[in-house]
Amino acid sequence: MAAVAVYALGARGPSSATPVRLALAGTAVAVVLQGFVHGVFVLNEFVFDRIRFWQVGSLTGRDLDVFWQVAPFLVTGVVLTLCLGPSLNAVALGDDLAATLGANIPLIRAATAVGVILLCGAATATAGPIWFVGLVIPHVARLITGPDQRWLLPYSAVLGAILLTGADTVGRVIVPGAELEVGIITAFVGAPLFIALVRSRRMAQL
């Protein structure tokens, strides 16, 4: 429902859902939902204590029971997203050329949105909001593979897992006798790396 609300607010027509409009609409929806959530958990001390750790983003206590709960959503999202690689290459050429090549643009966009919702929703429900993985990793993968979505998508999945595992390992050893949540580590690593990628001339050419 949040994704539908973001798209409805950020798009005036089928082809007007630009990244800037969607980002602004997403920010507005997130603020409203966060206000609702805060109003709920401040009334319950137990929930307040639990959500403090979830909001930071952590893999602590996430065992296979949690994985199996979200596995159907993850598997469906992964399969759907990987299958969309060739179609996304066509859409990247522009709507007119993609339509000339026979691409069903509304269907491709709808399927892509479903894949993103399944993957992001399942990951966030499992470990909380872990910052910068989704922002940094696709750009790093693009530097390696180029713009071909057939390679960019699987490389992003593998590199994202490597970054998350490495950050979690660092968080477990950097503080003796305790653990620094993985979301904090990825924020410290991801922010300067993202700035470097934005300033990269090669990234601009891609």
pLDDT at 187: 85
Tell me the average pLDDT across 114-138.
Answer: 89
Tell me the average pLDDT across 18-44.
Answer: 84
For 61, left (φ over 0), alpha (ψ -120 to 50), or beta? left
Q: Are residues 190 and 144 in the same domain?
A: yes
Q: Are residues 86 and 134 in the same domain?
A: yes
Residue 154 lies in a domain: yes
- Residue 181: DSSP 8-state: -
Residue 184 lies in a domain: yes
Q: Are residues 78 and 176 in the same domain?
A: yes
Domain range holding 17? 1-43
pLDDT at 39: 82
Cβ–Cβ under 8 Å, residues 185 and 131 = no
Q: Are residues 140 and 192 in the same domain?
A: yes
Q: Are residues 15 and 100 in the same domain?
A: no
Q: Are residues 164 and 75 in the same domain?
A: yes
pLDDT at 80: 95
Residue 128 lies in a domain: yes
Band of residue 77 on the pLDDT scale cut at 50, 70, 90: very high
Q: Are residues 103 and 25 in the same domain?
A: no
pLDDT at 87: 92
pLDDT at 18: 75
Tell me which amino acid residue 114 is.
V
Q: Are residues 129 and 169 in the same domain?
A: yes
Residue 117 has pLDDT above 80, yes or no: yes
Residue 49 lies in a domain: no
Residue 31 has pLDDT above 80, yes or no: yes
Q: Are residues 3 and 86 in the same domain?
A: no
Question: Tokens 């269907």 appear where?
Answer: 107
Residue 48 lies in a domain: no
80 against 92, higher pLDDT: 80
Q: Are residues 88 and 140 in the same domain?
A: yes
pLDDT at 194: 76
Q: Are residues 118 and 157 in the same domain?
A: yes
Mean pLDDT for all residues in the chain: 85
Q: Are residues 66 and 115 in the same domain?
A: yes
Predicted structure pTM score: 0.80
Residue 53 lies in a domain: no
Tell me the average pLDDT across 98-120.
Answer: 90
Residue 71 lies in a domain: yes
Taking the C-alpha atoms of 127, 131, 133 and 136 in order, what is their torsion angle to the nearest 10 degrees?
Answer: 180
How many domains are there within the chain?
Answer: 2
- Residue 83: DSSP 8-state: H
Which of these ranges, 9-13, 39-43, 84-88, has the smallest mean pLDDT? Answer: 9-13
Nearest C-alpha neighbor of 124 from the set 47, 174, 51, 19: 51
172 against 199, higher pLDDT: 172
**Domain containing residue 159: CATH number:** 1.10.3470.10
Q: What are 58-76's pLDDT values in tens digits?
A: 887 788 888 999 999 999 9
Residue 51 lies in a domain: no
